[in-house]
Structure 1
Amino acid sequence: MSVSKNVKLPHLFYGGDYNPEQWPEEVWKDDMRLMKKAGVNIVSIGIFSWAVLQPGPDSYDFAWMDRLMDLLAESGIMADLATATASPPAWMAKLHSESLPVDENGARYAQGSRQHYCPNSKAFRLYGQRLVRKLAERYKDHPALAMWHINNEYACHISRCFCDECTREFRVWLEKRYGTLDELNARWGTNFWSQKYYGWDEIGLPGKTPTYANPGQQLDYMRFMSDSLLDAYLGEYRILKEITPELPIMTNLMGAFKPLDQFEWAKHMDVITWDSYPEPTAGIPVFAAMQHDLMRGLKAGQPFILMEQVTSQVNWRQQNPLKRPGVMRLWSYQTIAHGGDGVMFFQWRQSKAGAEKFHGAMVTHTGDENSRIYREVEQLGQELRRLDALVDARVEAEVAIIFDWHNWWALELDSKPSRDVLYLEQIKQYYKALFERNVGVDFVRPDADLSRYKLVLAPALYMIAPGVQANLEAYVQGGGTLLTTFFSGIVDENDRIHLGGYPAPLRKLLGLCVEEFDPMLPGQTNGISVSGFGDLRGEFACNLWADLIRLEGAQPIAAFTSDFFAGSPAVTRHTFGQGKAYYVGTQAEAGFTSGLIGAILGEAGVQAPLEAPAGVELSVRRGADGARYLFALNHNASAVQAELPEGRFADLISGRELAGSLELAPNEVVILQKRQ
């Protein structure tokens, strides 16, 4: 399903969270005027309105929502209607205190904030699903209804619960997963530390333990909590699908967010939506771009919707600086360049009271259209109206990065050789090298079909689950190029060591054996030397980790320069079938990583869509009709110039025609389509 192709809204989404229950109804009509002026075509409503919609366990009040839905329809604005279950009302906590989550110390959370529910609570699910059914039955035929929004930012605050209900459900989950206690004991290695179980009721949660809990238990608990939250979501999803099967359903994710296996969640979302809040003064938002690509990858390239960003400043950091003029627009176009079919905000009107009253909004506390923020909101909204051609266009990418939530969980469990090896940080290094070369990137699962990619990167692929070894070997055997890094290929899906020398499942593919590894202390460095690989040569610093590598067919590209393994391989290349497999046995400085990636890209025949100065971001989307749209975004504080390919180009935003060269003012964006 392409949500943007929904017959009710065949445009790029533009709008934000709308919370009119916080305002007297005379404000609503002015909201409609300002929304239409700004080009808003959809708003998210009801996200935190459970207590207003349901004053008590057996009473409901939909009158205000009826008036709101009718007003939106009259104004030509669509509704992304939320199920309101993100924040249970106070009466539930009073009647069912067991619905409140419990932390690892056994302390129960209090009502008075948000997300104060255990996902396995029977009361939470019962009352929430009753409300969802009433909403769906009441508004299923309403002309304003375009999409369903379940809950909000699952696991944002409560990603783990240690209550009695979760303990019981964990045992059920384990029995379903393993079938027998003998199998569980084998998978968890419970003969270590006398942890063997003889009854399912002996198994608890990995809460407050004297020292390290069982790694297999910890890993399965993370899986269980992700599944528990997903099951709570599915309880609402199934009701909505039953009553409104034609309408798209989603929940807003949070990018590279550790607690949820979002590839699994994506199977049950008709469109991916997510919330992005980069720190506004930290320079080019490379990590935001990476997360856009990750979210697009959750459904194999299907465009996503940015459900939340901020116009100006958030309220939850230690200090909360403003986005400078033009930055909101620039970063919104970055979203679209990376596959977004819409940009929305939290929230429409800045709140008068409550914990987020200082969080920025499309309409600020001034309350009118005279603020800088509203003028930028209006400019962007009017521009997006011209870009219907981009709806459902797909991002072009010849490079993929393997991403795996289970690998992330396992890699960062305690009792490791180094706690400084962090999954996202390893991914970011290589993504940044690709981003700075304007090379498009897809994110894929380890078991995905890799055949369409010229280069696949798998940094820190610590876990090799069943089928992954064969998938990687088939890809390289068929002519692909793979790069992986230190501490990869170490364990199976239960965090048990693959015996036979590191990295046992990848030794044949990589043509090497890692006999030992040496995690470095903070501040400790080594060096690597490369005599010439493409344009890469010289000596570079490295830190964090060093592998002691024995070659078994691979060729060295770089060697360590210090310590007892000076002269031994640090980076290798191995021909395997028709392709090549690279291995990086340390964390090198950025200059080396960039040079290595550049050389491998050249060897694989991958190029940027255009030569551009540093600080200019390029991306390409291609429509179903074959039309190709080149995005150029200038993140520099000064104007820059780039040479265009031969021919004439139209800028979809401004309508002007360009040929020969392209000049971009600071924070400027163009979307170029070649004229026939």
Structure 2
Amino acid sequence: MSSQTPTPGPTESRPTWIRWPDGRPRVGFGGDYTPEQWPREVWKEDVHLMREAGVNLVNVAIFGWSLIEPADGVFDFSTFDEVLDLLHGADIAVDLATATASPPAWLVTAHPEIRPVGPAGEVLGFGGRQSWCPSSPLYREYSVRLTEKIAEHYADHPVLALWHVSNELGCHNARCFCDISAAHFRTWLQDRYGDVNTLNDAWGTQFWSQLYTSFEQVQPPRLAPTYPNPTQQLDFARFSSDALRDQLVAEADVLRRVSPEVPVTTNFMVMGETRNMDYAAWAADVDLVSNDHYLLEGAAEPQLELAFSADLTRGVASGRPWMVMEQSTSAVNWGHVNRPKKAGELRRNSLSQVARGADAISYFQWRQSRAGAEKYHSAMVPHAGAESRVFREVSALGADLAALEPVLGSTVTSDVALLFDWDSWWSSELDSHPSQDFRYRQVALEWYESFWRRGICVDVVPATTDLAAYRLVVVPALHLVTDAVADAVAAFAEAGGTVLVTYFSGIVDEFDHVRLGGYPGAFRDLLGVRVEEFSPLREGESVTLSDGSTAARWSEDLAVVDAEPVLDYASGSYAGQPALTRRALEHGAAWYVSTALPDATRDAVVDRLVADTDVAPVAVANRGLELVRRTGPRGRFLFAVNHTGGPLTVRTSGRSLLAGTDVGPVVEVAAGDVVVVHEAD
């Protein structure tokens, strides 16, 4: 296993979107279909209801390994042959899985060594799902063999529109600490560092007498008497993401060899605190990016995090259209208290993701299961059947998506970029840090929120993205930063852009070594400030700022070197010292925020940033409307989503695609409604 997994050739040489069997482009709509859970007499009813709901794409065989290969080397495709023929007859396309997500009982029984192992040495048993070690050569051998058999059997089936590698890679087995993983980790480290002396330098092993004289002495960061080596932990996170990526590539290579004309995807999980997979690195391995998203349990406004995740998914996809592979129609089964979605929420959630670049919408799952761990997870056809609110909403959404066919191929362009980085996420939340309450994604989401509430589109993009097209770049808690990224951010500002950097940014290099000379390290010269100490705040503690507002979580001993104080600390250890600064450059500007600003103060900063950079909202509208504009060969499409309990208005003119009427110059969006306007030129 190598840290230098070969990147496939340019996506231009591969298919880039769903290969519809009849060649007619459409907005994809459907869900995971598991006919193996139901008797045959249900299948015809399923197809009838799918057509009624407007379903045109279903995901099949995701957990089909034990049915397709009931014994070692014995393959039986009869069930899925029948199902695919039935779907083809109904003009419903198939995203066909490699069925490798969960190995069957016979494989785990014959080869128990493929099971994953936790950091304390606990072996995870069979009976859930994903009971396999990402580094296991035996699992790789069996899974690739199954992938090849499925590809060869179905490559020419007329219903095949898309290949689906595994399912939610790393959802439950992202990091394995077994001896096989340890051996592969050592190989990965040899590829990365070349020799053990270079590794010792990178890991700082002179500390705590951790010096290695051979790669054979290196282990994963298993449970230890106290904190494991930080760079060892960071490299193991990178290695573990790469191990899963290698599995993706191994299966995708088989599919492309057998059927190069059929696009390949796998479902990412850009949502919430799912952080173990570096999707920015994985994106080149798929022909189109697809994502699973489930709302945050207990969130007061879950649509905010949904929008952030959708914009990050588009950023990972380099701005190209992407698809929603999974979401829930109503309640999930895995939260602490699983509440159903309110009437209309299903529609708003889905159309918000279409607004942000999704050209296909899918759910887990088509029919709600009678048995198993997910029997209380909602579905398109719930336990109550077709005579239910959920199915009526599903069918109404199908009609909406059909009406949105003109938006296909368009995308979102923004003047604002927010940098997001998995290395920073992993490194900033390691143990033995200034605060164990620090949450990387929380900092990013808070700054995103201020733009979202103003109807200003933001591209949430990997830190290595070319910044030339933007006016304003937000750098929230980019704790780990390479010289190349730091130089690119500085060059953007020096060329006339405006940059805002928050606390705990620029602190360490790619080896998790502190950049000496004072914080914020890599950004110190750009920002014209110097910090000697962090002073994180405990829960319940706060500091007052010079505008009378109250900040929490973090404060810093900040000194101005070549910048203008904008806001000071008015209480606490650093009273009278700056909390927020701005450095004017010849053409651009660089801001630094040394604390977690309260909402109103952060909003005021954003107001000044957008005024200084001439960044404008998508449209003139009442506050409370979620606004996004997609632009493409067929024109401009304004999406307005009303999450409030009252009517709101937006200034635009054109054709309302969902209502089928001409509208403008002021359009009312009813409470809880969505309007999509094909804007007049």
Asked if structure 1 preserves the Cα contact closer than 8 Å seen for 2:134 and 2:174, the reply is no
Q: Distance in 1 between matches of 2:186 and 2:257?
A: 30
**Alpha carbons of structure 1 residues 465 and 6: separation in structure 2 relative to 1, 3 Å:** farther
Asked if structure 2 preserves the Cα contact closer than 8 Å seen for 1:476 and 1:577, the reply is no
Is residue 2:584 matched to residue 1:575? yes
Choose the corresponding residue for 2:260, options 238, 245, 262.
245
Asked if structure 1 preserves the Cα contact closer than 8 Å seen for 2:295 and 2:302, the reply is no
Aligned 1:383-402 pairs, distance under 5 A: 383-402=400-419
Larger mean CA deviation between 511-520 and 107-116 belongs to: 511-520
The aligned residue for residue 399 of structure 2 is 382
Q: Distance in 1 between matches of 2:90 and 2:573?
A: 73
Q: Distance in 2 between matches of 1:51 and 1:566?
A: 65
**Alpha carbons of structure 1 residues 6 and 501: separation in structure 2 relative to 1, 3 Å:** farther
Asked if structure 1 preserves the Cα contact closer than 8 Å seen for 2:541 and 2:552, the reply is yes
Q: Distance in 2 between matches of 1:227 and 1:634?
A: 40
The aligned residue for residue 345 of structure 1 is 363
Choose the corresponding residue for 2:143, options 104, 120, 128.
128
Choose the corresponding residue for 2:379, options 358, 361, 367.
361
Is residue 2:306 matched to residue 1:288? yes
**Cα shift readout 1:639-658 (whole Å, capped 9, x = no counterpart):** 2234x25xx42101111111
The aligned residue for residue 485 of structure 1 is 502
Asked if structure 1 preserves the Cα contact closer than 8 Å seen for 2:62 and 2:167, the reply is yes
Q: Distance in 1 between matches of 2:613 and 2:301?
A: 30
Asked if structure 2 preserves the Cα contact closer than 8 Å seen for 1:5 and 1:391, the reply is no
The aligned residue for residue 639 of structure 1 is 647
Larger mean CA deviation between 490-499 and 666-675 belongs to: 666-675
Choose the corresponding residue for 2:476, options 459, 471, 496.
459
Asked if structure 1 preserves the Cα contact closer than 8 Å seen for 2:629 and 2:639, the reply is yes
Report how far residue 564 of structure 1 moved: 3.6
Q: Distance in 2 between matches of 1:293 and 1:615?
A: 19
Q: Distance in 2 between matches of 1:590 and 1:9?
A: 47
**Cα shift readout 1:330-353 (whole Å, capped 9, x = no counterpart):** 111111111111111111011111
Q: Distance in 1 between matches of 2:42 and 2:445?
A: 45
Aligned 1:190-229 pairs, distance under 5 A: 190-229=205-244
Asked if structure 1 preserves the Cα contact closer than 8 Å seen for 2:647 and 2:668, the reply is yes
**Cα shift readout 1:266-325 (whole Å, capped 9, x = no counterpart):** 110111111111147733510010000000100211111111111121111122111111
Aligned 1:122-521 pairs, distance under 5 A: 122-256=137-271, 257-279=274-296, 282-367=300-385, 369-521=386-538
TM-score, normalization: structure 2? 0.95
The aligned residue for residue 534 of structure 1 is none
Report how far residue 396 of structure 1 moved: 2.2
Instruction: Give RMSD over aligned pairs.
Output: 1.3
**Cα shift readout 1:57-103 (whole Å, capped 9, x = no counterpart):** 12011011111111111110000000111110000111000000111
Q: Distance in 2 between matches of 1:287 and 1:659?
A: 30
The aligned residue for residue 100 of structure 1 is 115
Report how far residue 208 of structure 1 moved: 0.7
Q: Distance in 1 between matches of 2:538 and 2:45?
A: 60
Q: Distance in 2 between matches of 1:62 and 1:253?
A: 27
Q: What amino acid is the match of 1:364? A: P
The aligned residue for residue 624 of structure 1 is 633
SS in 2 for 1:587: coil
**Alpha carbons of structure 1 residues 662 and 5: separation in structure 2 relative to 1, 3 Å:** farther
Q: Distance in 2 between matches of 1:573 and 1:507?
A: 12
Asked if structure 2 preserves the Cα contact closer than 8 Å seen for 1:81 and 1:147, the reply is yes
Is residue 2:73 matched to residue 1:49? no
**Alpha carbons of structure 1 residues 343 and 280: separation in structure 2 relative to 1, 3 Å:** farther
Report how far residue 394 of structure 1 moved: 0.7
Report how far residue 166 of structure 1 moved: 0.3
The aligned residue for residue 7 of structure 2 is none
Report how far residue 6 of structure 1 moved: 5.4
SS in 1 for 2:552: strand
The aligned residue for residue 673 of structure 1 is 678
**Alpha carbons of structure 1 residues 211 and 9: separation in structure 2 relative to 1, 3 Å:** farther
SS in 1 for 2:182: helix
Asked if structure 2 preserves the Cα contact closer than 8 Å seen for 1:634 and 1:667, the reply is yes
The aligned residue for residue 25 of structure 1 is 40
Report how far residue 577 of structure 1 moved: 3.5
Aligned length: 663
Task: Give ranges in structure 1 of 5+ residues lacking alignment.
Answer: 530-537
Q: Distance in 1 between matches of 2:236 and 2:306?
A: 29
Q: Distance in 2 between matches of 1:491 and 1:363?
A: 50
SS in 2 for 1:638: coil
Q: Distance in 2 between matches of 1:565 and 1:324?
A: 47
**Alpha carbons of structure 1 residues 563 and 76: separation in structure 2 relative to 1, 3 Å:** same
Aligned 1:507-656 pairs, distance under 5 A: 507-529=524-546, 538-625=547-634, 627-642=635-650, 644-645=651-652, 648-656=653-661
Task: Give ranges in structure 2 of 5+ residues lacking alignment.
Answer: 1-14
**Alpha carbons of structure 1 residues 160 and 284: separation in structure 2 relative to 1, 3 Å:** closer
Q: Distance in 1 between matches of 2:656 and 2:612?
A: 33
Q: Distance in 1 between matches of 2:213 and 2:93?
A: 56
Q: Distance in 2 between matches of 1:377 and 1:338?
A: 20
SS in 2 for 1:539: coil
Q: Distance in 2 between matches of 1:321 and 1:524?
A: 33
Asked if structure 1 preserves the Cα contact closer than 8 Å seen for 2:133 and 2:176, the reply is yes
Report how far residue 615 of structure 1 moved: 2.0
**Cα shift readout 1:369-404 (whole Å, capped 9, x = no counterpart):** 321111111111012112111111111211000010
SS in 2 for 1:586: coil
The aligned residue for residue 17 of structure 2 is 3
**Alpha carbons of structure 1 residues 587 and 357: separation in structure 2 relative to 1, 3 Å:** same
SS in 2 for 1:127: helix
Choose the corresponding residue for 2:54, options 18, 26, 39.
39
Larger mean CA deviation between 630-639 and 35-44 belongs to: 630-639
Q: Distance in 2 between matches of 1:94 and 1:35?
A: 38
Q: Distance in 1 between matches of 2:483 and 2:463?
A: 10
Report how far residue 180 of structure 1 moved: 0.6
Q: What amino acid is the match of 1:523? A: G
Asked if structure 2 preserves the Cα contact closer than 8 Å seen for 1:489 and 1:506, the reply is yes
Asked if structure 2 preserves the Cα contact closer than 8 Å seen for 1:397 and 1:441, the reply is yes
The aligned residue for residue 658 of structure 1 is 663
Q: Distance in 2 between matches of 1:161 and 1:212?
A: 18
**Cα shift readout 1:546-594 (whole Å, capped 9, x = no counterpart):** 1112211111110000134211111000123311010001111111011
Q: What amino acid is the match of 2:641? A: L
Q: Distance in 1 between matches of 2:149 and 2:19?
A: 27
Q: What amino acid is the match of 2:157? A: H
